[in-house]
Chain A
Amino acid sequence: MDSPPELAFGQLLLGGISFMFLSAVTLVLFVVVYQKRLLQQQLLLRAAESEYQQQLLAAVIEAQEHERERIGRDLHDGIGSTLATAKLLVGRLENLNTDEETTHLTYMVKDILGNAVHDVRGLSHSLYPAVLDRFGLAEALQHLADVCDEASTLSVALTIDYPRPLVLSQELALYRICQELIHNAQKHAQGATVLQVRLQQQPSGLVLAVEDNGCGFDAAAIDHQRALSGGAGLRSIEVRVQMLRARLSQQSAPGAGTCTLVEMENPVFA
């Protein structure tokens, strides 16, 4: 028979070992359960990322298709019909009797061909802004603002503080973002009278801000609508913002206008 102190010590030691054993089992179970939970979270995150990438890809493809459709329409309805008219008029030149009529018709053909050249330049500029390549982002934005001022009632106020040019690929992305934001403002900012575009280089990076004083929108409702409709324009902006490794933020409220900010922290200088 064991003595009472020995029995007590034996039980104490056994209790200690059992406690350690249970602690070890608990630790292992914790690792198993926690790892499983983290894996599930990671899977969900990956699925969400994958869906987002799919949406971006779809938006890029949709934007490409829209652009092709627009170019096709411009070629067919604009330049194509202008050149067809010019061809008809040139055909009539052969059958004319008087010099006066010939002079008049030649003048008309020159005028029509002049319009066609103008249309081709406009189309070419919309496809690739040559001014950006030649004179840089500041000049290209100024040109864009001038064109928008001419084309719509919305006045564009441009503020540029851009002493150190970026590489062409980043300038092109910023130009396209600005182009899309101006286009969006012209299309959706009802009642807007002025559109402020600011490009500012700061010690910490670069900020592009596009702000209108139009009707604004309810951000939550727009998010829902975008999820349903796809929102190709904004998605193409998001793609370019991602490419620039920048941050995109948009503030708006009904009746309070819209302000879109693109903030780049590490621009690459040319």
Chain B
Amino acid sequence: MCLLQTFFMPDKITTVTYAILALAALVGSWRFRQLPTSLRYLVALVGLEVATEILAAFLHFYHKPNLFINPFFSAGEFWLLALVYDKTLHYPKFSRMRPWLAGGFAVYCVVDSLLTPEVAHFKPALQLLESLLILGLVALYFRKLLQELSVTRLDLEPVFWVSIGLVINNLGKSQIYLFSNYLLAHYSNQLNLNIWAIHSLLLAVLYSCYLVALWIRPPN
């Protein structure tokens, strides 16, 4: 794995990822008043990401377990993303279903955390379920794009950028989460770090897409 280690440089990637997230949060806060409702929820999501990262880093600094944050973050992330897509899709059926879907997932996250309070293991089932649900939201958006053909410039469509980031991130990270516990139990720390560096890289792609979505000004 030496080549991987040299190529990925985990620390630098993580730093770049944090920098992009911070920039997205900054741009989101700066433009908050001019943004439509859907993107305001995206700013809230970026805020949640920042808060989670700070809390995780704080606990890591004091050598406390921080994996328990993950289910709560997943519940919040999906809730906010469902709101972003709800305000973009304008499907009455989806609007009716959304609270139940997001609420159901949140309840699942809480129950799962209470029943199996893992501090040293990941929860791949929960992560995969969240990825599937998010990919479902993106699929609905792509379907709307292809059916209604109301968007003439995709590069100026913020939610399209959000969707690109989510597709790349969720498809990529599903592989990592699938093998996360196995990797943790059977392989070296170095391999784990390298694989999580790839996860950071995928997050960097996602945050870059959030940043573009918050930066661009779509035509009226």
Contacts and interface: CB of A to CB of B under 8 A. Distances in A.
Interface stretch (A33-41, A87-95, A155-163, A257-265): A33-41
B91 interface: no
Contacts of A9: 183, 187, 191
Contact of A16 (B164, B175, B191): B175
A13 B179 contact: yes
Nearest to A1: B2
Contacts of B168: 21, 24-25, 28
Contact of A2 (B145, B149, B164, B191): B191
A42 to B, nearest CB: 5
A28 B167 contact: yes
Contacts of B4: 10, 14
B1 A2 contact: yes
B175 A24 contact: no
SS of A interface (majority): helix
A31 B145 contact: yes
B149 A10 contact: no
Contacts, number: 66
Contacts of A1: 2
B127 interface: no
B102 to A, nearest CB: 23
A6 B146 contact: no
Given A9-B187, A10-B194, A24 B1 contact: no
B1 A17 contact: no
A35 B149 contact: yes
Interface string A5-31: 011011001101100110111011001
A24 B139 CA distance: 12
A24 B188 contact: no
A28 B164 CA distance: 7
B161 to A, nearest CB: 10
Interface residues of A, number: 24
B149 A24 contact: no
Nearest to B1: A2
A28 B172 CA distance: 14
Contacts of A2: 1-2, 188, 190-191
Contacts of A39: 149, 152
Nearest to A42: B149
A21 B172 contact: yes
B13 interface: no
Contacts of B2: 1-2
B27 interface: no
A5 to B, nearest CB: 9
Given A6-B188, A25-B168, A35-B154, A13 B175 contact: yes
Contacts of A7: 1
Interface string B118-154: 0000000000000000000000001001100101101
List 4 A-B pairs, minimum CB-CB distance, nearest first: A20-B171, A24-B168, A24-B171, A16-B175
Given A1-B2, A17-B176, A20-B174, 20 more contacts: A2-B188, A6-B188, A9-B187, A10-B187, A10-B191, A10-B195, A13-B195, A14-B198, A17-B172, A17-B175, A21-B168, A23-B171, A24-B167, A24-B168, A24-B172, A28-B167, A32-B154, A35-B145, A38-B149, A39-B149
